[in-house]
Structures are given as structure tokens and as C-alpha cells.
Structure 1
Amino acid sequence: MPFEDSDEPVESPIEDDLEPGDDEYFDDEDERDYAPRQPPVACQTTEAFKQFHRAQGTTGEQFCEKVRDIIEYMEKQQMNTALFLHHLLWNTAEVISDTKCQYERTSLTHSAELPGVLRNLYRPPRKHGRGYRAKGAAHAMTEVAKEIIAREVNNEMRALRPIMEAQPEDFNEESLLKITLDEMIPQVKAAAPTWWSICNTAAFTPKQAARNTKKSSPDTAILMVTAIVCFSRSVHRCKLQQLCSAYLKACGLKSRAFDTLHALYFCMSQKTVYNALDRIAESAQAQMREDVKQYPVRGTHDNINIRFQSYEQRTDNKTHFDSGTAATVYPVKDPNAVAPSPTAYQAKRAAGAKDPISPFTVIDLEDKASPQIHSRAVHQILRFLIDSEPFDLRTYKFKDSGLFEPPPPVLQLPTGPEHALVQYMCGTIHQEEASYEGNEKCIREWMRQLGLSAPEDMQKMSEEQLIVWIGDQLTASRMRGIKRFRAQDLNSVQRFDWLIEQPGFFHYMINLGFSFHHQYYGVPGSMGLKHAIDVLDRKNLAKPSVQGTFHHNLDELLHHVAEAHFRDAACALAGVDSLQDLRERSPEALTELANEIWTKLASTQALEELRSKKARDEVHEQSVMFNRDILDYLDLDDAIRHGDVGRVRNLLPRLLFRFIGGGHSNYVTETLELIQALECEWPDDLKVWILQYCWLGNTTGRAGCFAPFDLIQEHNIRDIKHIFAVFGPYATWKYIKKISAAIPTMRKIKDHVEADINHFRRGKSHTKPAKEADVAKLQRVYATGKIHIYDQKRTPLSKEGKAKDYMENGSNFDTLQTTMKKWLARHVSTRAETQDWTDYAMLAAMSNVAGGTGRADDQHLSSPSSSPTTGSNMNDDTGDIADLEMASVSSDSSSLSYE
């Protein structure tokens, strides 16, 4: 929780931090003790003596005799080895200053033999394993070694200062993302070799070090231990603590846990973390405003519902749900991007509005796209066959055949790290966006946060830029309604000419799923979705919902049912019992089989032939109709995921037919508006801009990871509500707005730490349960029911179990013409072109006199004469129905309904 209003400041548990002037030396040390020196001359004498004895071939017996002679001489002098070394090694003043003694002392202390001498003193060698080992000087050397190691470790801790040091201002995105373990571990090893060796010995037993090569390296643990002891010395040596704190905050660690881990020196205090979070949010907003000045941008917003928990209820303090709006801005930093021209757009829009699309336009677009849609449909059927578990493509002898490659994309978006989406989250606001008034207030607030709310900035922006704003169907319809009601205002800012609304394709997919649910749900015996739900025992799929995991579950069901359908169709046409029997066929034969399946069991032509028969098989007809329809759903889903916006555009006429036939009037309007814009009202530069930059985004840059912008916005809302949620009494709209901008940075840090530390243990996505058992079960049921084999004696379906042909109803010329006439009657064809900036010039002058902030109040950004008071007073062409209501239109409806 934040501490700006806290009455109980949290003190740091580190009380004995370094004082100014503390050089971290022991009392009898200084910097000169650790200065590097050249090897002394005395060592050369030792080497000369060694060479002499080597040349003379001195034997062990001769060395023994010489040693005895020296010992006997010392005894005559009333000395022994212990007294000799005692006086020689800095214990007698006269010996210390004697030149000859100094020379001999140096030859001993710097000789290459000394480590071996000390090692033998500590642990005398022996030639056998029997009896007691000589103790040597183990006890004395252990005591001395402790002191030596303490001094050495102390010196190495000093050397780690530049590696581990970090200032409070370093707690930012740029600095944190630069920290990598692969870079720090070698640095720490080089600066503190003794300390690292001690920790490494403690982390491994001798036998583990010798034999257990699969045990994970302790380097990461040793680095963290090193960071903890450095942080214990000084709170400024907190580089890893800052990184861990940001990561733990991104993972939702509670405040009490922060206090506990801070007391263990593992992370920074919670107060430090929240202060840093505020700085990160402020920095992100500042960077967003800078990018808005340099690059063209896109934007999204959507509603967010948050539950505010009250732990002590009062009249003005109760647990409740509240609605707000969250927005995200995406600058386009592609150097090859060409921003669309507002002037060209206004001219093209005015001309196109006078010559709108007709039913012939839509039918012609569908005809032109059909060959590409057909090739994709055949490839999808082929992939169902060869990707199945019974076929086992990995062991198929022609697995590398080029016939298994997908058709070329129509308009493929580029991939790569340089094309990863850059996004900035605006501050979340306590403002609903379901009404027209709410959407208008939201747009003004986003412009204020982008630094574009000053009248002169808005005027310049409207003359030089076009901003595409993406949302769900309700958001797009509200923005279109605002522009319709302001079509005759005085200037382009007040008319919102600079804003281009776009519906997101994630909500298209949701509504498309609802359409299939309405059409094919049926009854248990109709072999529809209800039957599949019962066979697979799937839960919570009886009633469409925009809440929870309904769309995900329905999407999986449609994929599994489709795969089972086409696997059964292949077996029926090929005359085999299992797809395993198809392994003997060549890739050419398999491709021909897939094409035959489409022609005979998944096309409109096949459906018409079945309906023309005197004895009709409605179960078989419905299966063929489902096969035909589901291929478009699968094609759209695949095109979105792989970033082929050309395929998405090709499917728009078929989506229109389905929405008309299913009675989804809101999405009929959205699709017609989109086709009208693409074919008549958008100049070429704007079409390229929207197709390449405004339909799909890729947050990673990896192939196959594209997503609609409205889905990306839903992910950001999920992060606000759950991943980076704010809890407790300080969870207010004000604080949520304050830290929302920090969420993309926290997400980057979380991914960075997990990739750097935890990448070999756990991925980012959960493992899906195997689908083979479910698909195989459905396939067996369909094979038993012979749904892909014509049977003229089959019992007809009941009225409740019979699905209507949405595509046939929607593509009927008369129905299409009637629908488009109703849409055209409400489509804005005339907009004012005046540019009267008198009011704006006055507001700019008032703003400068008031304080020079360059900002005007929100109410000054719109024309009071045309501003609606409430959302309910304005009727858009799509009506005032919410997403769920518009998707729940009865499938029995035979005509479109408009408000």
C-alpha cells in the first residue's frame, strides 16, 4: 500500500549502515597493505640454490644430512626451529632491522615452496592409511587461517562496492533491465574469489562436486548471498535488492511480506518500493508524452469494473463494485511507417460518402476473395488429417513435402524484436464509457494525459494527424455517434475529424462464437453443439456470456468439434476406419482427399445438391453446413494469430452475411462501416496504415503471437485488476490512476527476471491437457451416427434441432439490399468543413494569462451547443444495447432489428 498518507512510517531494519569516512579496513590495516608489488630479489637466491642442488644431483640422504647439521648447529647455539622462526619472523626488533635477516625472511615469505610447507604443516602427508595421522600444526593454522580469511573477505567486500552499488534514482526501468546474472556472476567471481570459493564449497559437498554434474549450478544462490551480505554492509549496495523488489511487487507480494523479506535483507523496504513505483509511473508518462510528440500513435480504451472491499462498513464506506475506464497508447516507431494525411482523408471521405458501397460491391468482394479462402480451407482440412495423433506426421516418410506448407499470406505483418509493440498505459480514470458523454470525457482525458489538451496543441494535431482509436463494438459505436452529432460543428477538433474509430477483432471473434452457439446449439439428438457438450461433459456452455472463460471454452469446443467432423469426413470419403490407414498415401493423394472433402462435404455447392434431393437427410445437411461455416471461423482465428491482415479483410463479406443472417445488427453496422471505409472513404495511405498498424499487434515480435488491439487492452485491464492489483484501504481510483502507467514497466521487469533466473524451470503459459481423447471420442460418435454419409431414410430433425442457414439468409440479395438501405439511411454522408478557431484562440489566450499551462478545462474542448447531456439522449445507428445483449439476439429472428 502507498505511504503518502500513512501515520506510521516504516523504519529500515538496517541501523548500522556505513558512516561517512568508513574505509572498511581493520584497525591495523590501510590501503597500502593491499597495493600490488613486484616479486622481491631474494626469491632469485632460492631459485639459484635449487638449480645448484639439481645440477649436483643432491639425494634425499644428502639433504637429510644437511638438515641434521643445521639442527645440531642450532642446538649448540641453544636454539631450535621454533625459536629460530619466532625471532626471524618479526618478533625481535634487532632481527627485524638486520639486513641479512630481512633478506632471508623475504626469501621464505615469497618462495614458491611456502604454500607446500604450510599445507604439510596443516595436514602432514602419509604413505599408508593405517594408524593415527600426525596432527601437525592444524589447530594453530586453523586459528590463524580464520583471521586471514576474515581480512581477505573484508577486503573483497570492499572490492564489490562498485558492482553492487545502486542509488535510489537507479530504481527505474532502464537500470533494472540492464541487470543480468550472466554479467554480474563473472564480475563478482573476479572481485571476490576467496568469498566465492568459500560459498561454492558450502553449496556443494565434495562428492557432489565430483559426481553430480546435473545438479544446478549454485552460482545464482551464491550471487544472492553475496548481495545480501553487501546490503547488510550498506543500504547503497542494493542493485539486486532493487531488482528483486520490483519483481516481487510485479508478482503481487503483500506489504507485510515486503517487511519480512526486507528484515532478511532480501529486498528493499515497502516504502522504497512504492516510492520507486511512483517514479516509474511518472517517468513512463513523461516518456509517453515525448513519444507522442515524435511518433504517430494509436489508442485503445475499455471499461474496467473493480470490486472495492470495505473491511469496516460505514454509511460512506461499503464494499461495492465501481466502473472506470483504462486506456493504452501505442506509438508507431517503425522507420518505414508513413502517417496518413488528414487532408487526403477528409477529401476522400467526402467523396466516398456520396458514392457508398452497394450489395454488388459486397458480393464482388466475396467473389474476388473466394479463391484465397478456398485454398486456406483445403489446407486447414489437410492439417486436421496430418496433425492428428493416429496419422503421426513425425514418422510419415513424406513429412517434409512442400504440399504440407500453408498457402502464401495475403498481407503478412512483419515479425522480429524490432516489430514488438511499444505501449504506454494511461492513468485509469473513474469514468464510465458506456454512454456518449462518458466516451467524450474519456477521450478528452486521454488527450490531456498525452499532453495534447491545450487548444493550440489540439488545433495543430487535428490539422496534422489522424489518431485511430480501437475498442469493442460499443466503444466504436459511441465514438461514431459522437462524430455524427458533431458533424456540423465549427472546426475539426470539435467535429472529432482527427479521430478514426475501429472495432477490435477480439470482440468480433466473441460475437462470431456467439453466432455459432445460437445457430448450432440444437438439442441432444441433433448432433449439434448441445450433443457435443453432453458427450464431452463440458460445463457452463449452455448460455452465452461475456464474463469469465466462456469464450475460451466455446472456442476450444468449436475447434475440437471441427477437427472431429473433418477427421470423420476423411474416413467416410476414403473408406477407412482410422486416419492411420492414410499413412500409405502420398502427399498428393492426401491433398486431393482434402480438396474432395471440401467439395463434397464442406461447400455451398454440396449443400445445394443435398437440398435438391427428393429424400432429404437433414442430419447430413446440417453437418455439411457446419463444416462450411466453421472453416471461416478457423480461418479468421488463424489469420489473426499469424498476423495476416489480408485474410482478415477477405473474410469481411462473409462475416457480414453471417451477422445479417443471425440477426446481430450491431456487428452488421460495424462491418458495413468498415467495408465502406476500406472501399470508399479511406485513401490508400490510411488503408495501409490501418491494415498494418491498427488491426493486430504483437507484444513479443515472435511469429504466431499476434493479437487484436482490443484483446491487448483486455490483458492490460486484467493486469490492473489482478496481476498488479491494489488492495486495502489505499486502493482508490486516485492511486490506481497514479500507478497504471507503471504496469508495462513492471511487466517487462517480471519477464526479464523470469527469463534471466527461472527460464529453465517454468514457462509463461500453462500446459494444455491433451485434446486427442476428446476429439477421438467425438469422431467415434460421428462415425457411429454416419453424419457424413447420406441416408435418405434418416429421421428428420425437429424444429428445435434444425439450424438455420445464416450464410444463405444473409447473402440473399433482397435481404442484403434492405439491410444496406437501412444502414445507409443512418450513415453520415455530410460533414462540415469549416475551420473556425475563434473560440480556441480565445481559450489559448485565457490559458496563458491564467498560468501559462497551455491547458484548458475539459468543457472548453467541445461545442456546448451540440454536447449531449447524457448518453441516453443520443441514439446511434447501432442502438444502446450492451455487448452481451447484442450478442444474445434470438437465432429465430428472421429479420434485422434496428432501434
Structure 2
Amino acid sequence: MSIVDVTPLKPRPKRGRPAYTPDTRRLRQTVKKLQSSERSPDKRRVNAAQLELERKASELSAAKQQMAVLQAEAKERARVLAAEQAAKEAAERQAKLEAEETRRAQGLVKRVTASEADGGFNFKSLDHFFTAFWRTGSGADQHISRIISKYVNDHGLVHATNMFKRSPQAKDDFISQEMAEIFAREGRAIQALLTRDGMSITDLLKDFSMEKLAADIEASAPHLWAALAVLADPDQSTRREADGETRRNKGLVFTTICALISVLRSQKANNFQLVIGLFLLGSGASKREMEVLAHAGLSVSYTTIINHVKDLSKEGLQKIREVCQTWMVQIVWDNLNIAFKVAAQRLEAKSHFDNGTTSTAILVFDPSTGTLARQGTLPLHVKPPRERTLPVLDWSPEDVLPSPESAAQLSTSCFWQFKRMALEHVPGVSEELKKSLGECPEVNQIPLHQTIQYPLPALKEDESTLEGTFTVYTKNLQTMGMGDTELEKHGLMFDDGDLLTDSLKEKIESARRNSTAPIAGMRASVRRWGLFHGQMAGCRLTINEHWGMPNSLWPGGLWWEHNKLLKRKPLMAGWGGKKATEWKPAHELLHISLPAHIVDGFRIHCRHESLSEWAESATVSEFEVVAKTVFDKLFSTAAINDLRARGEHDITLENAILYNRDALFYVELTQAIKKGDIGRVLNVLAIWMVMMRAPKTMPRYADAIFETLVRIRNFPPKLRELYLANWLVNLTGKLFGFKPVDLLQEHQNFWAKIIYNAKGSNKSWKWLSMITAAFQIPAYGEKHKTPPIHDEVALIAKALQDENIQTYVADRPANDHVNPIRDLIKEGAVYANSRKAFHRFTRDTRKAENRGFDVMEAGATSEGAGQEEAEEEVDGYEPTEDDLRLDDEEFLLEPEEILASAIDMVDSALVDSDPEDE
């Protein structure tokens, strides 16, 4: 084979026709001959003849098929005619037979009423005959009776139907008589079902369920229920539907109808009406509204409601005493301030403002057994006796800073929260990335359980004084049926409250340290301050420190984001404010601002022109790498140290990094509380303890956290376990349903003041004492649905991008005008090692006997005065109604429409007639 390429030597064929060859020419000639033969006359005649033959064959075949069809139809018609004729003849024969049978039957009737002389049976009438025919007993042939009974069982319905066809009036009379007996029997069953018959009101409310009641009524009165179903069957042409479902639940309507029937039969059969009446009272309905519904039969009268509330209050107190004899309980209380306004004031009736206290007893949960802790679990000797006036804490220098383990856990948790918010707010994130997040690593998770609470009667005692606190403590114990003997048998009892309450109880312990009696010496009290107030303090710590300069021309800071970008109602914040920062808008601002900073950080470090395009295609590993980069460069202490180590500072960027880190601490605490991970909560408290020691912040909370963490570390294992596991409560028993104990009591105050309280001249402490012991706050709290924040997050993120807030800018013009934010962790760590901190801690502990502080130390430095002023603002702050409405940690167990109606009724009741305090 040649290796030379001869391809270029071959002739190129002409385009448009094949290459010419002899074989091609011969083939063309053959084709032409064949085509010409087809055009010959003989060939055309042969083809035409073949086509004609094929056509005629096809027509013959179609004719045969049509003939077959006609023959089959004829046969079928003949068969049908034969069958009709046979049926007609059979019907004629049957008619003749039935006529003969009818004649013979009627002849039998004639013989029945004919005399024996005429060959009859000598019955006076046909009714006389049937009366004897259906009679059973002596003289009857048992064999014939069985034949008759079998006939009735097999054909009784047909027999009765044929009878009633002859007389519709007889049918109506029969049905009326029978249904009257049936409905009377079922009415008695419903009456018995809705009569308490010795059942306590507490048990009625505990077990009441509309679904269960509907099922019980349907089982007890099936005929009435079926009749209502027929009556309520709608006309399909006029049926109205909403969202694909019927507008009303028939079962609920039928249950209400049956309840109305029951109360008409007996005024005592009013279980349904009583529950509705108590719901109306608990929803804030006015007396006039209750009376209208009572006249309609839907509720009991107002007077009856009040009487049952009194009984319910007594039952509640009795139940509390029974519970305290078996289980270990803890108690929480808080001040309740109510304004009593009198329209027409007199000497003995003037507008005034009262300070009182509400309390709640809570059963203690034992995480080691997964059940309630029994009384005596923590004997009194577990708590060492108080031997000195000043508190003695067994602490070491390591306790003033978070441990390395705690710091590592906090970093891990904050990084998880950082990724969670990124996956929620970065645009275009795929579902694969969202599913890859997993759960936040647990530190000390409280086992899921449902907290059982028992509200105690409200007291007209001001608990903000030493005497008032001890009075509240002793009266609550009396309400719970606990004297010295019972309390010693019960063992230690956790006492929760705000920071002021905690400090007052500590002073009482100090003053009564020499008393050996359990109550007088407060030997059973294990004090614990509330995490909700600590959460509010941490929120204000972040807001005040990072608020920025109001009305500044330079971008950056929370003031710029809240007032200028979001254009919200101006918020007073900063350490120099005259009033404590409102918690609700501050809480919302942090949860809007921080995600925006995260989104902007991902935009900067994803290395893609479009963040959404990157998010759509990013893999799990790519997302993790970018997230770690953003977290390290914009949300860590190391990042701020690296920036400040440079020769030229970018104050705006440094402030943004410090804010990102501090705000992430607050979000982590909020989420840890909702999840119920008390270990993660302690990790945040440990870092806040350091930050709040910084000058002009919150030294009292720093001392309280320090003391609490040291006490927890020195507790015996069982005391530490129960202390931590019951610092949060969960009324729903569901995931993410935990909340602080003091927030539970704040909700109790909210419902006592807004929902349960009487109106006008009937508002009194007697009423509050009764109503707070009769009702529990609902697990679903107050109506709240958090609106989406995506637009706000996008707005702030765009502004951060436009102003390069989170990007290093050398020689930024704002650096000469913006004040650098303090690194509170660094400031607090340095302050903790100073002599000033030691003297201040000693000074604060000396306040056990005197609430004042040393004049020389207070005047020696302006920083100390600033600390006291800032702390007084926080201590004096009482959560507003808006603050409590913001709490969305509870699961809605009831429809939002019910809650909306309840709130509407409360609003209308404010101007309606007032309930009477009976």
C-alpha cells in the first residue's frame, strides 16, 4: 500500500449531477423502456380492468357485510318481540293470578267478620281480628306464633310500607308517635350527658372538648343527629362555600342545638353553657353581652358565671394544696400595678394607683426521670445555712471569664445561627442548602415536657420592699397550705423573679440568717432571677452600645438603619438616654438588621457578580467555605483585632464588625431559650457577664450573672440539675415552646390586667384575687403573627452595599467624625482585673443592709455614676403590653379568629357596662 496521498489527483465531480459512466447510461435506457411500456394502450386497458374488478369485489364484500348486519338485527328484533310477547302473557297470567288471590283474600276478610252460622269466624271487625292475631301469651299456638314472628322479622318493613301506602295519614300518625318516644329518650340521654352530676368545674374545663362532646351526643342520640343532618342538607344550587370547604362545621352547630335542647329540659344540664360563659368572662366580654347570650340559651347568666368562678377559685386553691403535698413546686411572683380610676370622685372613692403582686406555683420537672419531681427530692440541708451578713462565694479568678470550653461552644452555636439566618435571607438559596444545615449543636438541652402551672391569688402587697417581699413569700406559702412542718417535708423551693426581687430576697436571707425556722429563716428558698429580664438587658446592652450618633450625616450604626433607612418611629436609645430603651422595637431591629449584615457579607465574599446566581448553584461545601470566610472576617473578635492592628483605621468597618458579633450573641440567646438549651443560655450569660462589667453599662446584671454562675457551679449535682432544668418552662409541651419563668408571670399579669380584670367601679383586689386563682393563662398567649421582614432586610443590605459599610476603605471621610465603638469584651475583661472592680463588688454586697452606696467611691469617678444611672434605667423598666405581645415563642393552639374576637370584646367592654363584683 502506497503512503503517498493521491487524493488531489482524482477528478472532481461536477456539482448537481452524478459522474457519467457507461453503466449509468444503460440503466437510464432500461428505465425509459419500462416507462414507455406502461404507457401502451394494452397496458392501460389491463390496468383499468384490474381496477374495475377490484372495485366490484370490494362492493360485493360490503354488501355481504351489510346483509349479515341486517340479518342479525332482524333476529334480535324477533327475539325482543318474542320476549315482550312472553312477558306480556306472563304479566296477564300474573295479573289473573293476583286478581284471584285478591278475591280469595278479600273473601277471607268476609269470612273473618261473618258469623259462625254463615261459615265465618265471628269477629266483630277487622280491627278485632288483627288485635287477636298479633296477641301473644296464653291460649296462643306457639308454632303459629313463631311463624308470625318470623314473617314480621323477614317482611315486616314491606308489610308496614304497603299498609302506609294505603293511608299516608296513618303513616304520619305512627311516625309522630314513635319519634316522640325516640326523641324523648334521646333528650334524656343528652340531658344526662350535659349534667355535671358531682363533677367539679375544674374537671369539666380540663376534659371539655367540642369534638368529644359531638361524638358523645351522636352516640347518645343517633336519631336526632340523623334528623338534624337531613334538615341541614343544603340545596346544592344555593350552597355557599369558602376556600373549597363548607363555611360552618355541622358537628359544632348540631352540638350547640343539642345543648340548647338540654338546657331547656333542665337548667342543671348546662355544661356547654357554663363553658361558654367562662370563656366569655375570660375573653373580657361585658356583662351586657353575657346576659344577651344567656337569654338566647348559649350561656349561663352573669350571676351564675360569677358564682361558678368563686367555686372554681376554691377548687383551684384546694388543688394547689393537694399538689403541694405530693410534688415539688417552685414559685414565681412579680409586681402588678393597676390604676383605679373613679369617674365621680368622693372622699371615700378617689382615683388611685395600687401596687400588688401576682404569683404562680409551678411543678418541678426532673430531667433524670422524665417525670415530675416529688416533694422531698431536695431536703433543706442541701442548701448550706447562711452564716454571714455578706454573701460568701467560693470563686476563683477563672470564674470572672468564660471557660475555654464555654467560649468554643458559644462560637459553634453563633456560627450555626449565622448560617441559619444566611439560608433564610440570602436570595436564591437552594432547598438542598437549607436541608444541609441540620440542628444547632446541643450543650444542655432540657427534655421536652409540658409545664404544669397553678396561678395563685393576687395580693394587694407591694413586693418592692423588704417587708413586702417577705409578706408575699409567707402569704403564698399559706395559700399553698405550707407551714414550717409542711415546708420542711417539701424541701427546697425555687423562687423566681426579676433582679430587684432577687436582691430583696437575698437581703431578707441575710437579715434572718440566725432563724432556724424554715419559713422565718427562708431556709427553703433557692432564689433565681428571671432570664426574660436578662434577655431585655442584653438587648439594651447591644442597642445602646451600637446606636451611633443621632442625626449624624455619616452612614453606619443602628440609628442610621432604624430612623433613616427603615423610617420607623424614632427610638430613644444610647447610654445617655433618660429612659430605658423600649424592648419591642429594639428586639425587632436586631432581628432585621443582623440578617441584612449577613446578606451583605455573603455578597462581598462569594466572589460572584450576582449573589442570587451564586446561591442558586452553590454546593454545600462551597456555601460552608464562604460562610466561614464571612464569619471570620466580619463577625469575630479576631477580625476586629486584625483591623485595629493596621496602621490606618476604618472606624465604620470596625464598628460594624463589633455590632455583628454582639448582635449575634443576642440572637443566640433568644433562640437557645426557645429551643430550651439551658447550656447555650449559660454560655451567652458568661460572655454578657464580661461585657456588662465594662464602664457605663450594666454592672448589677454583671454581678448577678457572676454570682449565679458561681452558685450553680458549687451546687450539689441534683440541685444544679433541677435548678437549670426548670429555669425555662414550656406550657405547650412542643418544640421551640420554651420561655423564661419570669415571662410566664409577666403574661399572667398581662391577662389579669387586660383580659380577666373587672371594669369600672367593680375593679378590686378581691376580684383579682378570685379571678387569678380561677383561671390559667392560655398556652397560646396573645394573638401574634410576625410579618415577613424580607423587604426590610433587602433595604438595609442594599444600603450597606452602596455605602461600603462592611468593606475596608482607606481614608474613609467618616473616620474623622464617627466615634469608635468599644469592644465590650475587652473592656469588661480589663475592668474585672482592676482594683476598682474589686471595690465595687465589695460595695454592692454591703448593700445587703443599706441600699445606698459609699459616697466617696461614687464621687471619685464619673464612670461609677454612669454605671449606676444606666443600671437604674434597666431595673426600673416594666415590660409594656407591646413588649409582651411581641413574644412569639408560643404555639397557637386555638384559631386566630377566636383570639381576635376575644380582643375585640375586650376593647368594646372598656366602654360597656361594668361587671358586678359579687
TM-score, structure 2 normalization: 0.73
Equivalent residue number for residue 721 of structure 1: 753
Pick closer, same or farther for the CA change 1:351–1:475 going to 2, 3 Å.
closer
Q: Is the 8 A contact 2:330 2:362 kept in 1?
A: yes
CA contact (8 A) 2:365 2:725 kept: no
Task: State the one-letter code of the partner of 1:149.
Answer: M
Deviations 1:250-299 (A, max 9, x none): 22232222222222222222222222211221122122122222222211
Match of 1:769 in 2: 787
The aligned length equals 750
2:889 corresponds to 1:885 = no
Whole-angstrom CA distance in 2 between matches of 1:548 and 1:888:
8
Aligned residue in 2 for 1:755: none
1:65 aligns with 2:83: no
Q: Distance in 1 between matches of 2:503 and 2:322?
A: 31
SS at match of 2:358: strand
Residue of structure 2 in register with 1:370 after alignment: 407
Matched, 1:474 2:500: yes
After TM superposition, give the deviation of residue 519 of structure 1 in Å. 1.0
Report the Cα distance in structure 2 between the residues aligned to 1:90 and 1:783, rounded to whole angstroms.
110
8 Å Cα contact 2:287-2:302 kept in structure 1: yes
Q: Does 1:812 align with 2:838?
A: no
* Post-superposition offset of 1:874: 13
Residue number in structure 1 paired with 2:617: 584
Q: Which has the larger radius of gyration?
A: 2
Q: 2:332 aligns with which of 300, 314, 326?
A: 300
Is the Cα–Cα contact under 8 Å of residues 697 and 871 in structure 2 kept in the other structure? no
Aligned position for 1:268: 300
Once the two structures are superposed, what CA deviation does each residue of 1:79-111 show, in whole Å capped at 9, x if it has no partner? 89999xxx9999766435545999899789936
Aligned to 1:601: 634
Does 2:809 correspond to 1:791? yes
* Displacement of 1:817: 5.1
Distance 2:832 2:852 in 1: 33
- Quote the Cα distance in structure 2 between the aligned partners of 1:492 and 1:77: 100
Instruction: Report what 2:140 is aligned to.
Output: none
Q: How does 1:663-674 map to 2 (within 5 A)?
A: 663-674=697-708
Alpha-carbon shift at residue 627 of structure 1 (Å): 1.1
Q: Within 1, Cα distance between the matches of 2:232 and 2:445?
A: 51
Residue 526 of structure 1, CA deviation: 3.8
Kept after mapping to 1: 8 A contact 2:335/2:462 = yes
Taking the aligned partners of 2:543 and 2:289, their CA distance within structure 1 comes to 46
Structure 2 residue ranges without an equivalent (≥5):
1-87, 115-120, 137-143, 859-863, 878-918
User: Quick one: structure 1 residues 288 and 386, their matched pair in 2 at CA, closer, same or farther if it must change by over 3 Å?
Assistant: same
What corresponds to 2:667 in structure 1? 634
Q: Give the CA RMSD over aligned residues.
A: 4.1
Q: How does 1:543-562 map to 2 (within 5 A)?
A: 543=573, 550-562=582-594
Structure 1 contact 484–828 (Cα < 8 Å) conserved: no
Residue of structure 2 in register with 1:759 after alignment = none
Question: Residues 359 and 816 of structure 1 are in contact (CA less than 8 Å); yes or no, is this contact kept in structure 2?
Answer: no
Tell me if the contact between 1:515 and 1:887 (Cα under 8 Å) persists in the aligned partners: no
Q: Does 1:202 align with 2:231?
A: yes
Aligned partner of 1:692 in structure 2 is 725
TM-superposed CA distance for 1:783, in Å, is 0.9
AA aligned to 1:362 is V
Distance 1:319 1:219 in 2: 49
For the residue of structure 2 that corresponds to 1:346, the secondary structure is coil
Cα shift readout 1:745-795 (whole Å, capped 9, x = no counterpart): x748xx7xxxxxxxxxxx975332111011111111111111111001211
Instruction: State the Cα deviation string for residues 212-235 of structure 1 (Å, max 9, x = none).
Output: 894355122112111111211112
Question: For residue 503 of structure 1, what is the amino acid of its counterpart?
Answer: W
Q: Does 1:357 align with 2:429?
A: no
Q: 1:684 to 1:821 in 2, by over 3 A?
A: farther
- Could you say which residue in structure 2 is the equivalent of 1:846? none
Q: Which residue does 2:603 correspond to in 1?
A: 571
Among 632, 647, 658, the alignment partner of 2:680 is: 647
- Greater Cα shift, 385-394 or 271-280: 385-394
Cross-structure match for 1:384: 421
1:451 to 481, 490, 496: 481
Q: Structure 1 residues 660, 312: CA separation in 2 closer, same or farther (over 3 Å shift)?
A: same
In the aligned structure 2, how far is the partner of 1:716 from the partner of 1:521?
33
Match of 1:441 in 2: 471
Matches within 5 A, 1:94-173: 94-96=128-130, 98-99=132-133, 110=152, 115-116=157-158, 138=168, 141-142=171-172, 145-167=175-197, 169-173=198-202
SS at 1:660 equivalent: coil
Deviates more, 1:444-453 or 1:304-313: 304-313
Aligned partners of 2:361 and 2:454 also within 8 Å = yes
Deviation of the 1:622 alpha carbon: 0.6
Q: Which residue identity does 1:361 align to in structure 2?
A: D
Map 1:170-185 to 2 at 5 A.
Answer: 170-185=199-214
Give the AA of the match of 1:471. Answer: G
> Where do 1:674-713 residues align within 5 Å?
674-680=708-714, 682-693=715-726, 695-713=727-745
Partner of 1:4: none
8 Å CA contact 1:466, 1:500 repeated in 2: yes
| Gaps in structure 1 of 5+ consecutive residues | 1-56, 124-135, 752-762, 832-865, 890-899
Query: d(CA) in 2 for partners of 1:181 and 1:796?
Result: 65
Q: How far apart, CA to CA, are the structure 2 residues paired with 1:348 and 1:719?
A: 38
70-79 or 196-205, larger mean C-alpha shift: 70-79
Distance in 2 of aligned mates of 1:526 and 1:149: 82
Shift of 1:551: 1.7
Percent sequence identity is: 21
**Residue equivalent to 1:284:** 316
The equivalent residue for 2:358 is: 326
Q: What is the alpha-carbon distance in structure 1 between the residues aligned to residue 716 and residue 839 of structure 2?
A: 24
Deviation of 1:497 after TM superposition, in Å, equals 3.5
Provide closer, same or farther for how the CA distance between residues 98 and 675 of structure 1 changes in structure 2, counting only shifts above 3 A: closer
Shift of residue 71, structure 1, vs aligned partner = 5.4
Once the two structures are superposed, what CA deviation does each residue of 1:843-871 show, in whole Å capped at 9, x if it has no partner? xxxxxxxxxxxxxxxxxxxxxxx9x9xx8
Partner of 1:527: 556
* Cα distance change of structure 1 residues 584 and 76 upon mapping to structure 2, 3 Å threshold: closer
Distance (Å, rounded) in 1 between the aligned partners of 2:134 and 2:347: 95
Contact 2:540–2:581 (8 Å) recurs in 1? no
Tell me the SS of whatever aligns to 2:732: coil
> What letter is aligned with 2:416?
H
Give the whole-Å Cα distance in 1 for the aligned partners of 2:630 and 2:124. 98
| SS class of match (1:110) | helix
Q: Does 1:219 align with 2:248?
A: no
Structure 1 position 620 matched with structure 2 position 653: yes
Deviation at 1:715, TM superposition (A): 1.0
**Displacement of 1:161 after TM fit?**
3.7
Cα–Cα, structure 1 residues 720 and 144, in superposed 2: closer, same or farther, change >3 Å?
same
Residues 473, 883 of structure 1: 8 Å contact kept: no
Q: Aligned pair in 2 of structure 1 residues 311, 197: CA closer, same or farther (>3 Å)?
A: farther
Question: Cα distance 1:510–1:798, how it changes in 2: closer, same or farther (>3 A)?
Answer: farther
Q: Please give the secondary structure, in 2, of the residue aligned with 1:387.
A: helix
Q: Out of 724-733 and 547-556, give the one that drifted further.
A: 547-556
Q: Which amino acid letter does the alignment assign opposite residue 873 of structure 2?
A: E
| Distance in structure 1 (CA, Å) of the matches to 2:809 and 2:597 | 17
- 8 Å Cα contact 2:442-2:677 kept in structure 1: yes
- Give, as a single letter, the amino acid of the residue that structure 2 aligns with 1:677: R
Whether the 8 Å contact between 2:652 and 2:818 is mirrored in structure 1 is: no
d(CA) in 2 for partners of 1:255, 1:282: 23
CA contact (8 A) 1:358 1:820 kept: no
Structure 1: which amino acid aligns with 2:254?
Answer: I
Secondary structure, counterpart of 2:300 in structure 1: coil
CA 1:813/1:250 → structure 2, altered by over 3 Å: closer, same or farther? closer
Give the direction of change, closer, same or farther, for the CA distance of 1:548–1:118 in structure 2 (3 Å limit): farther
